[in-house]
Amino acid sequence: MNTSTPTMAMPAQAEQRGRWSAARIVRAPLFGSLIALVVAIIIFSVLSPSFLTLANFSLILQQSVVIGTLAVAQTLIILTAGIDLSIGSIAVFGTIVLAQASGAMGPVVGLLLTLVVCVAFGAINGGLVTVLRLPPFIVTLGAFTAIVAATRLLAGSQTFPVSDPVVVFLGTSFRIGGFTTTYGVIAMLLVYIVVGYALTQTAWGKHVYAVGGNPVAARLSGVRSQRTIFTVYLLAGVIAMIAAWAALGRIPNADPNAFQNANLETITAVVIGGTSLFGGRGGVLGTLIGTLIVGVLRNGLTLAGVDNLYQNIATGILVVVAVAVDQFMRQKSTR
């Protein structure tokens, strides 16, 4: 189960250490998150008879689609030692564009326009970070504030129900054997697979880790750091568009007030998944586990009859624990 995890999670550093060993798995940042996920599943299976069913796991996946997809974008940006406080807001803006444009010009034009808009926001963020060298925290804080307001202006404070089969396609369910799931879940997993592959198997992926982990070494070894960071923000825009499409599949109504916590929830998933806020360490597999931990917690505590607020307390504790582990790991590896 966890033999294949380190390769996807730990880039070059781990591979240099050579042979696979039990000690290395235990040291992998993923190990802690994976244990937490497994233990959470065991606890909730004991607490609630309706938890450990295929139907319920299908629900957890469906409930995680939007945040889980956006968390991939957040992972990429955090790997470059940045942070994106606006990614959820970009997706919400995208849902309004998609609902309005597909109503007026058909679903294909709507999807394309949404892609253009989301990538444009990514380009603005990326441009400010790489060309003007402004801190990502400040850039995306400003973007978040402005985009939320722009979303309400664009929506005229209305909500837009959608029913076009293409626009709500990612909410369509289908069966695999005895397991019912939606195309949105498949889309989310595809985003993880594609980005995971790009990060671990391509030169671009190595560059992303390099510019986040050790910018000076990256520059000296000829990595075009600013260009790499810019592509990460563009890709985040693409992923935000996919999340917007998935959101309308799940709730076929574009609402400017939706997903207000998404920006921070993506950071939570990334951090619990073991990706370091200092950049250069972690990966999307960890983020997937982090997303599932949050989803399992919320669903499991609900089924166990526990107030949702406890879920937030547990999540908060997990975030701090995850960062504490990361800090410790960094001290070890720089000695």
Partner 1 sequence: MKKHLSQRWLVRGAAVFAVASLLGTTACSGGGDGAGDSEAGEDVKIGLITKTDSNPFFVKMRESAQETAEAQGAELIALAGEFDGDNEGQVAAIENLVSQGVQGIMITPNSSSGILAAIKQARDQGVLVVALDTATDPEDAVDATFATDNHAAGVAQGSWVKESLGDEDPQLVMLDGTPGGTVDTFRHDGFLEGMGLEEDSPEVRGMENTNGDQTKAQTAMENLLQRVPDVNAVYTINEPAAAGGYAAIKAAGKEDQLHMGSIDGSCTGVENVKNGVIGATVMQFPTKMAEQGVEAIVAYAADGTKPEAGFNDTGSVLITDEPVDGLESEDTTWGAENCWG
Beta-bridge partner residues of 176: 179
Give the separation between CA 47 and CA 300, rounded to whole angstroms: 9
**What is the SS3 assignment for 270-335?**
HHHCCCCCCCCCCCHHHHHHHHHHHHHHHHHHHHCCCCHHHHHHHHHHHHHHHHHHHHHHHHHHHC
Give the footprint of partner 1 on residues 304-323 (CB under 8 A): 304-311, 313-314, 317-318, 321-322
Q: How far is the CB of 61 from partner 1 (least distance, A)?
A: 11
Nearest to partner 1 of 59, 238 (CB atom)? 59
Nearest to partner 1 of 174, 310 (CB atom)? 310
Nearest to partner 1 of 211, 285 (CB atom)? 285
Give the footprint of partner 1 on residues 220-249 (CB under 8 A): 247
Beta-bridge partner residues of 182: 173
Cβ-contact 236, 88 below 8 angstroms: no
Closest CA to 111 of 234, 243, 236: 243
Q: What is the CA radius of gyration of the chain?
A: 20
52 binds partner 1 per the rule CB under 8 A? no
Residues in the interface with partner 1 (CB under 8 A) total: 64
- Using DSSP, state whether 241 is helix, strand or coil: helix
- Half-sphere CA count of 188, side-chain side, radius 13 A: 30
Nearest to partner 1 of 13, 53 (CB atom)? 53
Nearest to partner 1 of 61, 143 (CB atom)? 61
Burial 270-307 (b: 16+ CB within 10 A, else e): bbbbbbbbebbbbbbbbbbbbbbbbbbbbbbbebeeee
Give the footprint of partner 1 on residues 153-182 (CB under 8 A): 156-159, 161, 171
Handedness of CA 121, 248, 316, 195 (dihedral sign): negative
From 6-14, 105-113, 136-144, 291-299, give the range in contact with partner 1 by CB under 8 A: 291-299
Nearest to partner 1 of 26, 193 (CB atom)? 26
13 binds partner 1 per the rule CB under 8 A? no
Candidates 8, 9, 36, 117: give the one binding partner 1 (CB under 8 A).
36
Give the separation between CA 304 and CA 314, rounded to whole angstroms: 14
Nearest to partner 1 of 86, 299 (CB atom)? 299
Q: How far is the CB of 252 from partner 1 (least distance, A)?
A: 6
Name the residues that contact partner 1, by CB under 8 A: 23, 26-27, 31-32, 35-36, 39-40, 43, 47-48, 50, 53, 55-56, 59, 62-63, 66, 152, 156-159, 161, 171, 247, 250-253, 255-261, 297-299, 301-311, 313-314, 317-318, 321-322, 324-325, 328-329, 332
